[in-house]
Structure 1
Amino acid sequence: MQAFLSSPRRIVPGLLVLLGAWSATACGPSNDAPSEARADAGKTAAAAPPASARADSTKWAAVDEALGRQGESLPGGVHKFTMPRTDLPVVSGGLRIKPALALGSWLAFMPKGAGAVAMGDLVLTEREYTGVIARLQQGGVGQTAVHKHLPEHSPAVWWTHIHAEGDPVEIARTVKAALALTGTPPEGSGAATRELALDTAAIRRTLGHGGKVNGGVYQVSIPRAEIIRAGGIELPASMGTATALNFQPTGRGRAAINGDFVMTAAEVQPVIAALKANAIQVVALHNHMLDEEPRLFFMHFWANDDPVMLARGLRAALDQTNSTLP
């Protein structure tokens, strides 16, 4: 398949109402009001959510509506959507891949100027790819990377990183229209979280960093220690700049691991050496963004073995990076 990439075009903000909501702040009582009225207003304000929280909820509500999904507000002003491809029966290495291991599309927004910047990663089949890219381009949403996360797998899947700046509602509408060309299930159709057949405590001790159980997978996210910027703004870890280590139980005390290390250029070869020394396969090495500082490289990996042994190998690789570890 021929993948084509282009620099993202800017979307010109088109909704003055949205921009008003974007900068809205709560109004307090007049200084001319009687002291009793000011006291009552103070009690009401104390009982209400902070103005910043109310404004944050207001500005993202229109984006949720435009995308047709409920996003999650995260630290750093990020509003993020997760869209697991529970419809895809992907098999790699003889293993049915759970969406939480490697098949999770996502889209995240954060404020920038009068609008927002959006970044994400869409999981697309070969048949979906061309139509989705055309629709994204039509709406001004660009692509910054197209690649694989898994070794040999079927059906063939492409992971497509996207980027746009401007009116977040228009960006969300474009992504929704593109997703409509895929089999991406509607919100709320994912599998319920259940207890894993994994010693997650041992994995946590070995990695030196805890995680969460999601969709039958133990997920660990480890941010970089330095500040990462792109497009003139600081990017929180939730915008796709954290190392992701995922464990899926495969039976008989084993687990498959997948995810990606986030590295600077100087860290790439030491991380490869650490992974190879611990029998962990390097699947792909590439960039996800176009203008980040420092320049970052993303390395996807794979293995299926004893999870604690694999965690030791992952920790050895983490020790070669500037990650936030104890």
Structure 2
Amino acid sequence: MKKRPLATLCTICLLLPASVALAETDWSQVDAAIGKKAAVAGSVHKYGLPRSDLHVTLDGVTIKPGLALGGWIAFEPSGDGAMMMGDLVLTEAEVNPVMRSLLANGVQVTAVHNHLLRASPAPFYMHVGAHGDPAKLVTVVREALAETKTPFEPSAVPVGEPPKIDFDTAQVEEAIGAHGKNNGGVYQFSIPKAKAIQAGGATVAPAMGVAHAVNFQPTGAGKAAITGDIVATAKEVEPLLRALQSNGIEVTALHSHMLDDEPRLFFVHFWANADAVKLARGLRAGLDIVH
């Protein structure tokens, strides 16, 4: 029996004040302040901060930025400004200098943790949050990241078709129950949770980092390295961990990203390197629990 898609549409409802805030924001100024163009999904403006400067390996796999080194910050209109959330990818030595800079300038640090085990060198991930003027907030983040080697220059990679995916993407999509996309040679899925997420009294769009993220990086002969995070409520965590482990998928981290989310969310990170279709079916077993 063909499995039905987990998610096909995501509707974002905005209150009038948020719409007004969106209209008043000059996003060209925000782009200029960070030195990048935003990817726009509905009302969310998201800026990618991939750590393409890092050479990270895990179990013999060289990690592409799209697999596990894709930092970002995103803005969603809320009230008289915008809600900002983000996930910064840092080296061990960068964690505290970046944290000091952010805290000194009014940006919350809501989590610091690993995503992977055995990675060399080990990347760390810092979740951030704030509310206010996007141009001012993005300037604070840019100044904090001056403590790191995060690249802001345009990529030297030629523009064109991304590297081909050498596993059966159609079978993987059927198993996962959603459509993916090729991002720099990594096949990525973003699947919203069925129920709306609140933070700070406002609904948080999936593009703000509260969707399930599932990434496949080809490793040859139909295999793929997989990582990402599946979003679970407290009662879903233990069944999810069991489902992943019983399907040969290693659980590498369990943590929160936010401080005031409702319902309270936990993010389960994972890793495996095996047949891509088999791993997709294993991930679907976990996704069925959280949906």
Unaligned runs of 5+ in 1: 1-21, 25-51
Provide the residue aligned with 1:106 in structure 2.
72
TM-score (norm 2): 0.89
Provide the rounded CA distance (Å) in 2 between the counterparts of 1:211 and 1:106. Answer: 19
Partner residue of 1:65?
32
Q: In structure 1, how many angstroms separate the alpha carbons of the residues matched to 2:222 and 2:154? A: 30
Rate the CA distance shift 1:93–1:312 in 2: closer, same or farther, 3 A: same
Matched, 1:278 2:247: yes
Conservation of the 8 A alpha-carbon contact between 2:71 and 2:88: yes
> How many angstroms apart in 2 are the aligned matches of 1:184 and 1:317?
33
Aligned to 1:141: 107
Q: 1:312 Cα deviation (Å)?
A: 0.6
Kindly provide the amino acid, as one letter, of the partner of residue 285 in structure 1: L
- SS state at 2:188 partner: strand
Distance 1:201 1:321 in 2: 23
Does residue 82 in structure 1 map to residue 48 in structure 2?
Answer: yes
2:183 to 202, 214, 225: 214
3-state SS, counterpart of residue 97 of structure 2? helix
Letter in 2 for 1:158: F
Deviation at 1:121, TM superposition (A): 0.2
Q: In structure 2, give the amino acid aligned to 1:138.
A: A
Contact 1:221–1:243 (8 Å) recurs in 2: yes
Matched-pair contact (CA < 8 Å) for 1:244–1:260:
yes
> Identity over the aligned pairs, expressed in percent?
53
List structure 1 runs of 4+ shifted beyond 2 angstroms.
Answer: none
The aligned residue for residue 6 of structure 2 is none
Displacement after TM superposition at 1:187 (Å): 4.4
Listed as ranges, the matches of 1:119-268 within 5 Å are: 119-189=85-155, 191=157, 193-268=162-237
Look up the equivalent residue of 2:204 and give its one-letter code: L
Aligned length: 270
Matched position secondary structure for 2:172: helix
Deviation, 1:143, is 0.6
- Is this contact kept in 1: 2:81–2:133, CA < 8 A? yes
Q: Choose the corresponding residue for 1:302, options 271, 287, 291.
A: 271
Report the residue type matching 1:98 in the other structure: K
Task: Assess if the C-alpha contact under 8 Å between 1:249 and 1:256 holds in 2.
Answer: yes
What does the per-residue CA deviation read over 1:17-70, in whole Å, with 9 as the maximum and x for residues that have no partner? xxxxx848xxxxxxxxxxxxxxxxxxxxxxxxxxx8xx37x5322211221211
Alpha-carbon separation, structure 2, partners of 1:147 and 1:215: 25
Confirm or deny: 8 A CA contact 1:143 1:160 kept in the other structure.
yes
Letter in 2 for 1:307: A
Q: When the two structures are superposed, what TM-score results if normalisation uses the length of structure 1?
A: 0.80
Q: Which amino acid aligns with 2:238?
A: Q
Question: Secondary structure in 2 aligned to 1:246?
Answer: strand
Partner of 1:202: helix, strand, or coil? helix
C-alpha contact (below 8 Å) 2:166/2:221 kept by paired residues: no
Would you say the 8 A contact 1:190–1:215 is kept in 2?
Answer: no
**Which deviates further from its counterpart, 213-222 or 133-142?**
133-142
One-letter amino acid of the counterpart of residue 250, structure 2? Q
Query: How far is 1:188 from its partner?
Result: 2.8
* Structure 2 partner of 1:39: none
The alpha carbon displacement at 1:194 in A equals 2.2
Indicate the larger mover: 304-313 or 190-199.
Answer: 190-199
Verify the 8 A CA contact 1:86 1:190 in the aligned structure 2. no
CA distance in 1, matches of 2:35, 2:221: 40
SS at 2:26 equivalent: helix
Change (3 A) 1:190 1:103: farther
In structure 2, do the counterparts of structure 1 residues 316 and 190 end up closer, same or farther at CA, with 3 Å as the change threshold?
farther
Work out whether residues 168 and 222 of structure 2, in 8 Å CA contact, stay in contact via their aligned partners in 1. Answer: no
State the partner residue of 1:31.
none
Cα offset, 1:253, TM superposition: 2.3
